[in-house]
Amino acid sequence: MPVLPVLTYPHPFLKTKVAESDPKDPQLLSVLRDMMDTMDHHAGCVGLAAPQLGHAYRCLIVDVSRSARAEENHGLLKLVNPVILESSQWKVSREGCLSFPDLLANVKRAQKIRFRALDGDLNPFEMVSSNFEAVAIQHELDHLDGILFLDRIRSSKDLFERRKAPSQPL
């Protein structure tokens, strides 16, 4: 499957709310595969939403097991039409986003969520997620509603430049 380019701000599609996806859409599983290949291509990436690749599908993938920040997790999650049912234990933490490659921000998110979705096989399920995984799911779900993590910051003091890796000598 192809690695697709990630849309970066200020691309207007990033501010678009996408409609619920039809589970019978023959392209849906292909979009999920493209998302996985694209996420795998980006070191340190723990989640991706279809709109970040220019797809008008209400789906996202999250795999925080790739990060040292993941205390507990459920491995690779493919979520179609996710809906948060409950959220609690709010906390501010630092987030990054492939659509903002040069920025980080302090964002307040729930540390525990209960949600429902269709899984990667398009079967309905409900799950509780916590800590870093819950934050990643909320971040990606925001992309489905055209909400960017910068929309969630309280002030410019919550915004930071991402440190660049030093250049390798020739």
Is residue 64 within 8 Å of residue 44, measured between CB atoms? no
Please tell me whether residue 123 adopts helix, strand or coil conformation.
coil
Residue 113's DSSP bridge partners are 87, 129
Count of all residues that appear for the chain in the document? 170
Catalytic residue chosen out of the listed positions 20, 72, 126, 140: 140
Residue 118's DSSP bridge partners are 80, 124
Is residue 78 within 8 Å of residue 28, measured between CB atoms? no
71 is catalytic: no
Helices (H) and strands (E) in the chain, counts: 2, 6
Rounded Cα distance, 138 and 84, in Å: 8
Residues marked active site are found at 140
